[in-house]
Amino acid sequence: MISPSENPQLRSFLASLTYGAVLSGTVAAIERFGVFVALDDGPAHPVFPGVGFITVPELSWRRLSAASEVVQVGQRVSCQFLQFDDWNMEARLSLRATQPDPFQAFADRTVVGQRLRGRVSMVVPFGVLVRVDQGIEGLVHRRDLTQAPVEELSEVVRVGDDMNVVVTGIDRQLRRLGLSLRHGTAGRQ
C-alpha cells in the first residue's frame, strides 16, 4: 500500500485547492473527532474513508454533543475549503462557513444596555453561561451575579434557571456576549 504522502495524485489534488473554495461530497464516516467526506472531484484517500475532513467545531455554529446532530453517513454536503493538511493528506473543510452566523444576526438586532430573558445553560468557575436566543449564549461573570461574594455559584444559580439579564458588551470578532444581572454595569463595553 502506498502511504498517503507518497500518493502524487492526492498531493496534486490537495495542492490545487484554494482557501474559501466550496467543495461538494458525501459524508463517508462519522467519528467522535469529526466527519470524513468523499469529495466529488477528488481522488480516493488510500487510508481514510474520504479525502475531506470536518472537525466537530467546523460542523455548526452551535455547540454539539455529537457530529450526528448535524450530518448522517451518505448525506450530500457542500463545505468551504480551509487548508491542506499535509500530515494526513486531507482537505480540512468547514460546513459552518457555508451557513449564516447566527451571532452576527443577533448582534445586528441587539444593543448594549438591552434587557433580555435567558436560561442558564452552564455554570463555570468564573460565572454562568446564559442562552438568550437559539444558539446564542452570553457570560454573566461571577462578579456580576450578586452584590455579595459567594463561595460556590451553586448557592446563587443552577443550570436551567431562568433569569433577566442586561447586555454589557458585544464582541462581533470573538463572537462573545457579555451579560450582567446588575443594572449598574449595563453601560460598559
60-110 pLDDT per residue, tens: 998 888 999 999 999 999 999 999 998 999 999 999 999 999 999 999 999
Dist CA 92 CA 89 (whole Å): 9
pTM: 0.74
State the pLDDT at residue 5: 61
Residue-wise pLDDT for 157-178, tens only, equals 899 999 999 999 999 999 999 9
Pairing of β 22-31 and β 34-39: antiparallel
State the chain's mean pLDDT as an integer. 89
Cell matching residue 108: 445586528
Maximal C-alpha separation, the chain: 67
Identify whether the C-beta of residue 147 lies closer than 8 Å to the C-beta of residue 164: no
Cell 475532513 -> residue: 53
